[in-house]
Amino acid sequence: MTPLDSKIAEVVVFPDRARVTRRGTIALETGLHQIEFVDLPRTVDTNSLRAAGQGSAAAVLLGVEARRVFYSDTPAVDVRELEQRLEELQLQDRTLADQQAAAEVRLNFAKGLAEKATEQLARGLAFGRADIAQSGTLIDFVQQQIDQAQAVLREVQQKRRDLARQIEKVNNDLNQRRTAQPRERLTAVVEVEIKRAGELTLELTYLVSGAGWTALYDLRLTETTEPKLQLMYLGQVTQRSGEDWIDVALTLSTARPALTTLQPDLKPWYLNVYMPPPAMPAPQPRAAGAVLSKMQTAATPPEFEAQGFGVAPAPVAMEALSAQVSAEGASVTFQLAQKVSVPSDGSPHKVTVTTFDLSPKIDYLSVPKLAEAVYRRAKIVNRSDFLLLDGPAGLFIEGGFVGTLPLKRTAPNEEFELTLGVDDRVTVKRELKARDVDKKLIGDRRRLRVAYEIEIKNLRAQKIDLEVRDQFPVSRHEQVKVKLEACDPKPIEQTDLNELKWRLALDPNAKAVAHFEFSIEQPTNLQVLGLP
């Protein structure tokens, strides 16, 4: 077998997996050859392995198969280096622990010697068997030993604390880099027959799990003479496939390979009559042995058939950094213009798909019953060639961050609507102007009259179009009657649920007032819930 020095050249990231293309070149003589793509991660779907090649050698592809390989050491170079570094740090810590234990023994010995010497010197001085000079020399010696032992302990403890922080950091790095079984990898063996000697560039493609991407957006609104909305389309890629993608051509795809090969099939929809379950007998004592249930694993059908490999098209010159978008059946792919590196650590990595300008049509909306605020609203047509996927969008107005809003899936040339936050330069106030109960009864019925007033002020320097929404109650009882008595100005719409809608055009520094009044008629002996 001949190992091939290959590198990851292209990656297509799907929402829940990725397709990786490895490429390497080798010179081969005529005859049969088994070429090895070594050190593949365990996340490879072996059913998806496909090989192709081209070059000056005349070759026939005979087959490709996957083999599991077990290592005594972790095959990933960076993980292996981290493991070696961890072993070195732990060895240093054990050495310091031995020094600490020796210093503690020395300190305990000196302290014990001090206690016994103090008692013996006191007796010697009392009976004249010792002099002061000898006593001072012994005391100085014991104190020196204690000081030296304590100094060694302080130094060793400080070094061990520093080592503990280094060990924790290396452990954290290892936990991010290790796979579930880091010493088990895959090798793909490609068997070829060479009919004419020469160089052969082999490509191996395969699906890996533990990878995916989601859409993110940045929206930047600028308001001059004409409002302009700049949309930055981002893709957030994460992967724990077990291999790093370094300087690769990255493509983001909306396809879901696991779903495209399965056709939905309806099952019979049965109706039945509920039957109460029979009474259960009293539980009997169980036997000592526990019964283990057998786990059944369904065979996974092939999820993806790789397409044939051709020469990559020449890159198209663009004025701005933007992905090349294409539609393949029901899916859309974005081929990034720049090369990307995504390590296999599970951390999110943002890549720019494209940036383009949109022309929003701005108007305003207020529902003062719920909030005395006026919201800026934009109606936009997606004039780009890019399909906008569901995802969060960060909103910036005149360079300042306002908040995050959801962006819905929008096809090219489709209209969508965004709420661009509260505009404090347009104020609204809703006030209860009247709530009167008629003193005279109509038979056994009482009437309640309620009036509200909504005042809007436009403090902007531009004219605005404003939509105002409010409501009056809906009766859910036949003896409770609700009637709209007056409304000024007349609403453009009144729904069956008694929602009112006005359209107002306000000049700069102008004010508008909307007033509506309704009555509620009810029997005196009926307690009504939800009255204003």
Mean of pLDDT over the chain = 82
For residue 363, pLDDT over 80 is answered with: yes
- The mean per-residue pLDDT over the stretch 110-133 comes to 66
Give residue 71's pLDDT. 61
In this structure, the answer to whether residues 163 and 187 fall within a common structural domain is: no
Question: Is residue 464 predicted with pLDDT exceeding 80?
Answer: yes
| Backbone φ, ψ for residue 164 (5° rounding) | -60, -40
Provide mean pLDDT across the span 97-111. Answer: 86
Residue pair 417/360 in contact (Cβ under 8 Å)? The answer is no
pLDDT digits (tens, 9 = 90+) for 44-95: 999 999 999 999 989 999 989 988 877 655 555 667 778 888 888 899 989 9
Residue 103 shares a structural domain with residue 188: no
Q: Determine which helix (DSSP H) or strand (DSSP E) holds 334, and give its type and residue range.
A: strand 331-342
Tell whether 187 is covered by a domain.
Answer: yes
pLDDT for the residue numbered 287: 42
Q: What is the pLDDT of residue 316?
A: 33
Does the structure show a pLDDT above 80 at 312? no
Domain residues for the domain of 382 are: 359-422
Q: With a cut of 50, say whether residue 309 has pLDDT above it.
A: no
Query: In this predicted structure, what is the pLDDT of residue 303?
Result: 38
CA-CA distance, 116 to 96, in Å (whole number)? Answer: 30
pLDDT, one tens digit per residue, over 178-201 is 544 456 778 999 999 999 999 999
Cα–Cα distance measured from residue 371 to residue 428, given in angstroms and rounded to the nearest whole number: 9
Note whether 23 and 139 are same-domain residues. Answer: no
Which of the residue ranges 53-62, 273-282, 414-423, 465-474 would you say has the lowest mean pLDDT? 273-282
Residues 392 and 455 in one domain: no
Model-wide pTM > 0.75 = no
Query: Beta 361-366 vs 331-342: how paired, if at all?
Result: unpaired
In this structure, of 8-22, 283-297, 439-453, the range with the lowest mean pLDDT score is 283-297
Helix axes 132-177, 77-127, angle to 10 degrees: 160
Range name among 84-88, 240-244, 307-311, 427-431 with the lowest pLDDT average: 307-311
pLDDT score for 513:
94
**129 belongs to a structural domain:** yes
Q: Are residues 121 and 39 in the same domain?
A: no
Most confident of 300-314, 358-372, 396-410: 358-372
Task: Indicate if 391 and 508 belong to the same structural domain.
Answer: no
Q: What is the pLDDT of residues 3-44, one digit of tens each?
A: 899 999 999 999 999 999 999 999 999 999 999 998 898 889
Residue 306 has pLDDT above 50, yes or no: no
User: Greater confidence, 163 or 320?
Assistant: 163
> How many domains, in total, are found in the chain?
4
Q: Which residues pair with 410 in a beta bridge?
A: 388
pLDDT for the residue 265: 75
Residues 190 and 160 in one domain: no
**Which among 405, 511, 517 is positioned nearest to 466, based on CA atoms?**
511
394 neighbors 413 (Cβ within 8 angstroms): no
Note whether residue 215 is domain-resident: no
Does any domain span residue 113? yes
Same domain for 34 and 6, yes or no, is yes
pLDDT band of 250, cuts 50, 70, 90: very high
Residue 56 included in any domain: yes
Q: How confident is the model at residue 344 (pLDDT cuts 50, 70, 90)?
A: confident
**Residue 522 contacts by C-beta under 8 Å, 6 or more apart in sequence?**
445, 446, 448, 479, 480, 481, 528
**Is 492 found in the same domain as 363?**
no
Q: Is the pLDDT of residue 530 over 70?
A: yes
